[in-house]
Structure 1
Amino acid sequence: MQNADGWIRRYHAADHSPIRLVCLPHAGGSASFYFPVSRALSPAVDVLSVQYPGRQDRRHEPGFTDIGAYADALTSALLPWLDRPTALFGHSMGAVLAFEVTRRLERDHGITPVRIFASGRRSPSSFRHETVHLRDDDGIVAEMRELSGTDAAILGNEEILRMVLPAIRSDYTAIENYRAAAADTVKAPITVLTGESDPRTSREEADAWEGHTLGGFDIHRLPGGHFFLAGQQERILEIISEGLAAATRKG
């Protein structure tokens, strides 16, 4: 099930759940990445998976090359779904989008998500000069292989790969040019999940998320690299469930 403008996928509708979880994919990722999360948490949690433009059934739409514009559009798409307490889970670029969407919800709409789960990403103000978006197609594919975040079947299928590369380049352009100040904060509590051997996020860069919330903060260091999620599904689901249960009790 999806909404009219294409942003939201709701694979396992949980109409009677007291809480929603919005899942935001990584750069180049799609909503289906979170199908297993939706299946595992339903019906206790109503899981919404975000489908970015430029991929799968939205492949003919241009991708965003600016995180601010990305967050503006996604915030508008989410507003009709905020009729119950809502948390956001984002991996890599999705973690930054979760933070920026939360800033807009709090600032412009007076809505504070019950929690942000920021996975596989250094803090918003921890900037690194990166230029993957300037590489040729082969260079971008090499980055995807290094991080092991893309299905091997896609990397080996030339036709599919050429279809998704424009979206991946757009996403990398957006995230690599993103800047946030150390003073940029949200009221929502933040739970950070990070891979112990992630080459894209150091221990200090993950810890720095604490400075971006006026609410509670906790961090979970898990075995693995940038896509540690692949080998830690059970533990990640526990962390999400515990965080949402605490928010439900508080509410």
Structure 2
Amino acid sequence: MSVDKKRVVYAFPHLGAGAAVYNAWSKYAQQQPLLLFKAIEIPGRGALGGKPHIQELDELVNTLADALHLHYLSTQEQCQDWITFGHSFGGVISMAVNQLLERKYGMRPTFSIISASPAPCVQAQENLHLLSDEAILEKIRRDKGTPEAVLNQPMIANRLIKQLRSDYTVKSQFSALKHMRVKQPLTLITASKDFDVPEQDVFAWQEHSTGRTKHVEVAGDHFAIYDNWDVVEREMLQGLMSEQPVC
């Protein structure tokens, strides 16, 4: 591959989050001349806060696929290929988008990175979107992915609850993806102390791809990946250097 052009990385946020969760990585990626990092924004939050929340899986996947397609077309002069990264909920959404992009536009990523995400074929049916606001807020606290100081601000807490309820509604439809198939290689990332997602549930992604798979482990809990840019960067650069195979 030519090193004169960049690789686009499309990063999908975890459940309830938006593109801002990748702000630190976006800054780090600016120091890496081989990567163009693009955090995917979800309608109803961040830069798309004026848009309505999407609670239908098919609608969300179609909306994100069309946006990614348009963005990639705009990068053709400076970029040579593209990959996806998705953490947890974002891993499933990224793969559903990948599948649609190939069907609709003939686009396939060089490979995909999936972090701490249970494969659809092993995900149990959940109806967390039916929880009360109070129960959702308590779950946010238990998950320890949001600082308590943030949760103590009513306006922010209410916004998070709406975002989570929207994503929980989408997640309740993941059973439709149990037979999803893609063709690109996968890099599967797990965390040593992730008690929310068993390692074998991440390995089950092998059932969803005809490509090769590779496993990488980081130290820490379910959200440890956000503190491991060095590991993520190395994996994102696969194949751009002659000594780095793709998965």
TM class by shorter chain equals 0.7 to 0.9
Selected match of 1:36 from 18, 24, 34: 24
Matching residue's letter, 2:14: H
Check if 1:176 corresponds to 2:176.
no
| Separation (CA, whole Å) in 2 of partners of 1:179 and 1:90 | 18
Check if 1:129 corresponds to 2:119.
no
Question: Is the Cα contact below 8 Å between 1:87 and 1:244 reproduced in 2?
Answer: no
Matching residue's letter, 2:66: S
Matching residue's letter, 2:160: V
Residue aligning to 2:194? 198
Question: Please, what is the CA RMSD of the aligned residues?
Answer: 2.3
Question: Is the Cα contact below 8 Å between 1:19 and 1:248 reproduced in 2?
Answer: no
Selected match of 2:103 from 80, 84, 107: 107
- TM-score if structure 1 supplies the norm length? 0.84
Q: CA deviation at 1:23?
A: 0.8
Matching residue's letter, 2:10: V
Identical residues among aligned pairs (%): 26
Deviations 1:107-161 (A, max 9, x none): 1211111111111211121121323221111211122222222243321211211
Residue aligning to 1:7? none
Check if 1:186 corresponds to 2:182.
yes
Question: Is the Cα contact below 8 Å between 1:182 and 1:211 reproduced in 2?
Answer: no
Question: Is the Cα contact below 8 Å between 1:224 and 1:231 reproduced in 2?
Answer: no
Q: Matched residue of 1:85: which SS?
A: strand
Cα gap change, 1:238 to 1:55, in 2 (>3 Å): same
Check if 1:144 corresponds to 2:134.
no
Q: CA deviation at 1:37?
A: 1.4
Cα gap change, 1:214 to 1:162, in 2 (>3 Å): same
Selected match of 1:45 from 35, 51, 66: 35
Q: CA deviation at 1:29?
A: 0.6
Residue aligning to 2:87? 91
Cα gap change, 1:77 to 1:100, in 2 (>3 Å): same
Matching residue's letter, 2:151: L
Question: Is the Cα contact below 8 Å between 1:147 and 1:227 reproduced in 2?
Answer: no
Question: Is the Cα contact below 8 Å between 2:116 and 2:222 reproduced in 1?
Answer: yes
Matching residue's letter, 1:62: P
Give unpaired runs (5+ residues) of structure 1: 1-15
Q: CA deviation at 1:236?
A: 2.8
Deviations 1:163-188 (A, max 9, x none): 33212210111113311455421111
Give unpaired runs (5+ residues) of structure 2: none
